[in-house]
Amino acid sequence: MGKALSLIVSLAFLLTTSVVTDQAYGGECGDVNGADGITASDALLLLKKAVGEDVAPLVCPAAQAGAVATGQTLSYSPQDDGDLQLGAERSFTDNGDGTVTDNATGLMWEKLSDDGTIHDKDNTYSWPDAFKKVSTLNGSSFAGYGDWRLPNRFELETLLNLGANYPATYPAFSTKCSPGCKITACSCTAASNYWSSTTFVAADSNAWFVAFWGGFVDYFGFTKADRNFVRAVRGGS
């Protein structure tokens, strides 16, 4: 009983006093698991780290910054994007549970696999069915969360890496993707179109999608009844 009480006191102390310094955050914070608030799980993670246990990287939620960098590093003219490389620096944390946190935006993304599950990169959905997929993720509390959603157009665009192609995204979303791989071991992105949750208001039978084969955004050529790919997100303000 005494040991249990001591542990509770230690957790409470860590919860109220411990912080992690993160340059992207611009200061100190206690929300080290990206759960949008300081909870007992933050304290437990800090305690495990303090006693030397292996834990996933502790990352503060990113400060709300301006535009993110495009990823383009090759310059074609002085003062162009590849030359200046402006915008918030991109970095990502694999949380080890089938999710990746974008340290520039604070958004947590579903990883995709190649194993025939609901997370398989080859699954396609109509726009209405995309929301059903997200509902299934929430019903199963994927990665411990029940607030997954379909990203809006601007959120989805932040995964574009305009210095890459086929797929035009970052290695955190396209690495070790081989047949049969699971989301804890690999990260896949189809070089194709992904639905956003944003409707094209001039023709509401269409929705905006992001093309990860070439790195552009469009609404034309696909109605909401057509099938595209889906990646869920959570977090944000």
pLDDT tens digits along 147-178:
999 999 999 999 999 999 999 999 999 999 99
Q: Give, to the nearest 10 degrees, the angle between helix 2-17 and helix 40-50.
A: 100
CA distance 115 to 93: 22
The answer to whether residue 27 scores a pLDDT higher than 70 is no
The answer to whether residue 16 scores a pLDDT higher than 70 is no
pTM: 0.74
Q: Which pLDDT score, from 0 to 100, does residue 25 have?
A: 36
Higher pLDDT, 39 or 87: 87
Q: Strands 207-211 and 193-199: what pairing?
A: antiparallel
CA distance 11 to 38: 12
Q: Tell how many helices (H) and how many strands (E) occur in the chain.
A: 5, 9
Q: Which helix or strand (DSSP H or E) is residue 42 part of?
A: helix 40-50
The answer to whether residue 23 scores a pLDDT higher than 50 is no
Q: How far is CA 150 from CA 30, 63, 129, 155, 196, in A?
A: 27, 22, 11, 10, 6
Q: Which pLDDT score, from 0 to 100, does residue 20 have?
A: 44
Q: Which pLDDT score, from 0 to 100, does residue 236 have?
A: 79
Q: Which pLDDT score, from 0 to 100, does residue 32 have?
A: 58
Q: Where are the domains of the chain?
A: 1-61, 66-234
Q: What is the mean pLDDT of the chain?
A: 85
Higher pLDDT, 235 or 18: 235
Q: Which pLDDT score, from 0 to 100, does residue 21 have?
A: 41
CA distance 97 to 91: 18
Beta strands in the chain (DSSP E): 20-22, 27-29, 92-94, 99-102, 108-110, 193-199, 207-211, 216-218, 233-234
Higher pLDDT, 39 or 18: 39
